């Protein structure tokens, strides 16, 4: 059983379960970033993503080219639109979303993490994700740090903001490779 991506991202349980079932390691979060981008676009947020806004060149822990290429292939096989895969591939798995409020005010940034960990999820029968059909479908990779819930909360908050009156503006960076503190490292050049 898999949990389909909900039509309404305020269904945080369904979003979290979809993400939990499809964990992706740092710099390979193409499916996750694409889900985020498509959901936020549908909510009316202004999106910049991938190569347009993030340069992974030289970042610590950037996977080898074959790993990055197989991540792109997996995302395509998973139904991610080719245009999005092209923009997000090669380790450029960042999404920055902006929404401007109805009147002047402060700019607030709220950061969310996209990546999972190289941990094998237990197959114990009493493990909740197994009982409810949303255990990791990628061997050796698991959302064991809670970024599945982190992203789900971010999207639900984005949905709430898009239908509420607020001052100022909100920027949501969805960061690749938080684990190991890699994805926000300033370029070493």
Binding site for Zn ion (CB under 5 A): 145
Shortest approach of Zn ion to residue 100 CB, angstroms? 30
The residue among 36, 27, 29 whose CA lies nearest residue 152 is 36
Of 60 and 105, nearer to Zn ion (C-beta) is 60
The residue among 148, 144, 89 whose CA lies nearest residue 114 is 148
Shortest approach of Zn ion to residue 115 CB, angstroms? 7
Shortest approach of Zn ion to residue 102 CB, angstroms? 34
Shortest approach of Zn ion to residue 146 CB, angstroms? 7
Shortest approach of Zn ion to residue 177 CB, angstroms? 10
Of 38 and 145, nearer to Zn ion (C-beta) is 145
Per-residue three-class SS string for 71-135: HHHHHHHCCCCHHHHHHHCCCCCCEEEEEECCEEEEEEECCEECCCECCCCCCCCCCHHHHCCCC
Of 20 and 87, nearer to Zn ion (C-beta) is 20
Of 145 and 157, nearer to Zn ion (C-beta) is 145
Residue 106: alpha-carbon gap to chain centroid: 26
Counting beta carbons within 10 angstroms of the beta carbon of residue 167, is it exposed (0 to 12), middle (13 to 18) or buried (19 or more)?
A: exposed
With CB atoms as reference, the residue minimizing the distance to Zn ion is 145
CA distance 133 to 138: 14
Of 109 and 181, nearer to Zn ion (C-beta) is 181
Distances (CA, A) of 123 to 1, 47, 128, 137, 142: 15, 38, 10, 11, 12
Shortest approach of Zn ion to residue 181 CB, angstroms? 10
């Amino acid at each position: 059983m898999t949990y389909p991506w909900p039509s309404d991202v305020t269904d945080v349980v369904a979003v979290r379960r979809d993400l939990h079932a499809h964990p992706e390691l740092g710099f390979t979060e193409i499916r996750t970033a694409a889900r985020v981008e498509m959901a936020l676009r549908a909510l009316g947020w202004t999106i910049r993503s991938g190569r347009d806004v993030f340069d992974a060149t030289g970042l610590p822990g950037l996977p080898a080219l074959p790993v990055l290429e197989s991540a792109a292939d997996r995302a395509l096989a998973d139904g991610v639109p080719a245009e999005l895969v092209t923009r997000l591939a090669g380790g450029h798995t960042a999404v920055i979303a902006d929404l401007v409020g109805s009147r002047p005010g402060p700019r607030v940034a709220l950061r969310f993490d996209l990546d999972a960990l190289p941990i094998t999820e237990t197959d114990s029968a009493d493990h909740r994700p197994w009982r409810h059909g949303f255990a990791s479908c990628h061997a050796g990779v698991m959302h064991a740090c809670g970024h599945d819930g982190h992203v789900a909360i971010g999207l639900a908050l984005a949905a709430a903001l898009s239908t509420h009156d607020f001052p100022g503006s909100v920027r949501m960076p969805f960061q690749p490779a938080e684990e190991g503190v890699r994805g926000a490292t300033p370029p070493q050049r």
